[in-house]
Structure 1
Amino acid sequence: MPAQQLAGLTRAQAPRVRRFGHRRSHPRTLAQPYRIRRSCGGRPRGRDNGGVQVAVCGPAEATPEETAQARRVGELLAERGVTVLCGGGGGVMAAVAAGVRDRAGLVIGVRPDDGTAPALAELSASVVTNMGQARNAILVWSADAVIAVGGSWGTLSEVALAMRRGGIPVVVLGGWRVVDAHGAPVPGPVHAATPDAAVRLALGS
Structure 2
Amino acid sequence: MRISIIGGSSVTDTVRETAAATGRVVAQRGHTVVCGGLGGVMESACRGAKAAGGETIGILPTDRRADANEYVDTPIATGLGHGRNALVVMNGDAVIAIDGAGGTLSEIGLSLVYDRPIAGLGTHEVDGIEACETPEEAVKYVET
Relative to the length of structure 1, the TM-score reads 0.68
Larger radius of gyration between Structure 1 and Structure 2: 1
**Consecutive unaligned residues in structure 1, runs of 5 or more:** 1-51, 179-186
Q: Could you say which residue in structure 2 is the equivalent of 1:120?
A: 69
Mapping for residues 135-150 of structure 1, pairs under 5 Å: 135-150=84-99
Greater relative contact order (Cα < 8 A, sep 6+)? 2
Asked whether the equivalents of residues 65 and 77 of structure 2 are also in contact (C-alpha less than 8 Å), the reply is no
Change (3 A) 1:77 1:136: same
Mapping for residues 55-204 of structure 1, pairs under 5 Å: 55-115=4-64, 117-166=66-115, 168-178=116-126, 187-204=127-144
**Consecutive unaligned residues in structure 2, runs of 5 or more:** none
Deviating more after overlay: 112-121 vs 65-74: 112-121
Query: Percent of counterpart pairs with the same letter?
Result: 35
Distance in 2 between the 1:101 and 1:165 partners?
Answer: 28
Moved beyond 6 Å, runs of 4+: none
- Computed over aligned residues only, the root mean square deviation of the Cα atoms, in angstroms, reads 1.2
Distance in 2 between the 1:104 and 1:151 partners?
Answer: 26
Aligned-pair CA distance for 1:176? 2.0
Aligned-pair CA distance for 1:151? 2.1
Tell me which protein shows more strand as a share of its residues: 2
